[in-house]
Structures are given as structure tokens and as C-alpha cells.
Amino acid sequence: MAWRIPVAVPDVGPAEIEAVREVAASGWITQGAKVRELEGAFARLCGTEHAVATTSGTAALHVTLAALGVGPGDEVITTPLSCIASANPILFTGARPVFGDVDPETYNLEVGGIEKCLTPRTRAILPVHLFGHPLDLDPILELGRAHGLPVIEDACQATGARYKGRAVAGLGAAGCFSLYANKIVTAGEGGMIVTNDAPLAERLRAIRNFGQIPGQHFLHAFLGGNAKMTDLQAAVGCAQMAKLEGYITRRRTNVAALNAELSRLSRMIERLPAERPYARSVYFGYHVLFREARICARADTALRAAGIETRPFFSHIPAQAPYREMGYRIEDTPVAADLITRGLYVTNSPALTAEERTLIVDTLVGVAREEGLL
């Protein structure tokens, strides 16, 4: 189906095309100067000493966990409400994800939920800045320090977001980004890890390249694989990073405009996108929490009938088949289990037009009228 308003519209224009052409013409297309340029851009964004590019956000998380020594018998506390890629890398190391329930307003992990999950086997904390809204990080970082646990920020949806004026991802032991096609900036595929820990950065660079220390060919100090980004991808990413603030401004403008129109639907909609005082959100998607699961399903049908592509609130990860088979239970994280039934999101692309915003609003207003909620 060709959507009138698809859920993601990558901005690939003349700058990205020319950047790829230059790399292709250079004769060097694998990891090289453009990857280093993109790493420098992320390090500057996050105020970190180091950035390490990878093939994907999933790989960034996996490489980070491996570099921190997470392995069989360990537990890593993370969120049950996210793309499943937030939790799978924990399993890839042989460790076990432990899911703390989320805050019902921000949809993020908060320190109280993490604290309940601590055991002697806890090895790390991996919270997610869901929908580009920063976690309340200081209490989480304090808890991590008190227990000797590294905090890995999953900022895959949050490039450019800020917590108390500081860029996310650079505040814990390491932070990870995704550069997939629907993310705040894209390279088609790709990931990035940022850190201020020089020994950790050395391990990250080695593990992404078969465990080989840079410059020491065929000498492998660590167990690693191939998680290297290409210069072709990095060229697109570099062009995108130059537009980041413009992307964020337009996303924030979209949210303000949609919220102004949809706030009158309070009998149908429980919560529209918002940000806490400590946060500057980059609003990955325009997410809506309905008061009833039935109304959410009705709105989803209406939006799709109007040609507006939708997505649920990602996954309730413990409810996914591989996790159920491992013994995870839906009822252990009831807030997340409830949110997944009542929430959906549509695009918040920087390219979203005023006419497209009007179609989204009119469709949801129509649902409210039909339900007698307006």
C-alpha cells in the first residue's frame, strides 16, 4: 500500500547523494575517513572524548555489552517497552534481561523500577530514551555508582535530545545510537557508541573488528566480530548531521501544532506528547495514548483508512514469543502491558506538511465524534 502519510520519510537529497558519489569515486568505500568524520560529529554532539561507529544500533548495544564484560550468568536491567533490539543484545552475550516496569507518563524506566530489579547478578543498567524523550538520568546514574554498575544509554531514538541541558548518551558509561532509515539522522543503516572511557573505547574499536587492536593486523586481543560501518554509509550520516538542529526544530514544531489541535479530545485521548522540565525531547514519533484500548484500535483503523501509516508503542518485549518461551511473563510489567494496548504513533517527520497535520487531526476528530467523545 502507498501511504499518503508514511510513518517514516528519510530525507535523502542532493547533499547525501553527492557525499556518496564522492566516496564511491575515491576508491575507498569501507571504514575510513568518512567514518572517522562521522564519529567526530557524534563525539562533539555528546561532549565525549570517543565515538565508535558500528553497523547498526543493535550492534552498538551488543559491542558495548561485550566490551563491558557482560556474559553468561549476568543480568542487565532494561525496559520492557521498546523495540526488541533494546533487549536482544543482552541475550546475545549470554546474559539475561531483567525488565523493570515503566513510568506511566514518560513511558521510560525510572530509578524506582530499576532498584526493584537489583540482584547480586546485576551487571549493568540499560535504559532507553523512548520516543526521543530523555530519561531522568541523574538518579539512575547515582544508583549505578552506588552499586558499581555501568549505565548504558540506549539513545537510538534520541539523537540531539538533552537532559538538564546536556546531550544524552554521553552521560553514562556509554551511549548508543541508531542510524536506521527512520531515526532522527540516518545513514540507511548504522550505529554509534559514545564514551569518555578511553580503555573502553579501545575495546569497542577492537570488538567491532574481530577483536583486533587497531593497527595490529591479525592479532586478536578480544573475541569480536565484524560490526564496522562503511564510508558509503558514513557519508550519508555526515550530511544528515549537518541538518540535525533543523530536523529537531521541525519535529518540535509539528508536535506543538498537533497538540494545539488535539488537546480538545481529552475525553478520548489521555496523553499527547509532552516533555518533563529536565528534558528537551526530539520527538521520534507523534505518539498518542488513548483512554481505552477499544478506542485506540478504532483510531488505528480510521488513520489507516485515511492513508496514514501507524505503529503501536513498539513491543511489550516480555510478551514476544522468544521471551515467553524463556519464561518471561506479561503480568510482571503491568504498566507496559497496559500502555501497549492503548498507544500508537504516526510520523513526526521533519517533512510533515501543514496539510498532512490537518489530515491527522481531522481523522482523530472524526473518531471522537463517532464515539460521542467530542
- Domain-by-domain residue ranges, the chain? 14-241, 244-309+347-370
Task: Please pick, among 34, 116, 183, 228, the residue that the annotation labels catalytic.
Answer: 183
pTM above 0.95, yes or no: yes
Return the C-alpha cell found at 135: 530519561
- pLDDT, position 213: 87
Tens digit of pLDDT at every position of the chain (374 positions): 799 999 999 999 999 999 999 999 999 999 999 999 999 999 999 999 999 999 999 999 999 999 999 999 999 999 999 999 999 999 999 999 999 999 999 999 999 999 999 999 999 999 999 999 999 999 999 999 999 999 999 999 999 999 999 999 999 999 999 999 999 999 999 999 999 999 999 999 999 999 998 888 999 999 999 999 999 999 999 999 999 999 999 999 999 999 999 999 999 999 999 999 999 999 999 999 999 999 999 999 999 999 999 999 999 999 999 999 999 999 999 999 999 999 999 999 999 999 999 999 999 999 999 999 99
Residues in the chain: 374
- pLDDT, position 119: 98
Pairing of strands 81-82, 315-316: antiparallel
- pLDDT, position 215: 86
Q: Which of left, alpha, beta for 218 (phi over 0: left; psi -120 to 50: alpha)?
A: left
Number of H helices, E strands in the chain: 13, 16
CA neighbor of 137 nearest in space, from 104, 118, 162 = 162
- pLDDT, position 73: 97
Pairing of strands 152-154, 162-163: unpaired
**CATH no., domain 14-241:** 3.40.640.10
Beta strands per DSSP E along 79-173: 81-82, 96-99, 122-126, 152-154, 162-163, 166-167
Q: Looking at the domain covering 244-309+347-370, what would its CATH class be?
A: alpha beta
Contacts of 326 (CB under 8 A, 6+ apart): none
CA neighbor of 56 nearest in space, from 171, 194, 184, 176 = 176
Contacts of 315 (CB under 8 A, 6+ apart): 81, 82, 83, 84, 340
Q: Is 183 a catalytic residue?
A: yes
Bridge partners of 78?
99, 126
- 3-state SS assignment for residue 243: coil
Per the CB < 8 A criterion, the answer to whether 287 and 313 are in contact is yes
Angle at 365 between CA 360 and CA 369, to 5 degrees: 150
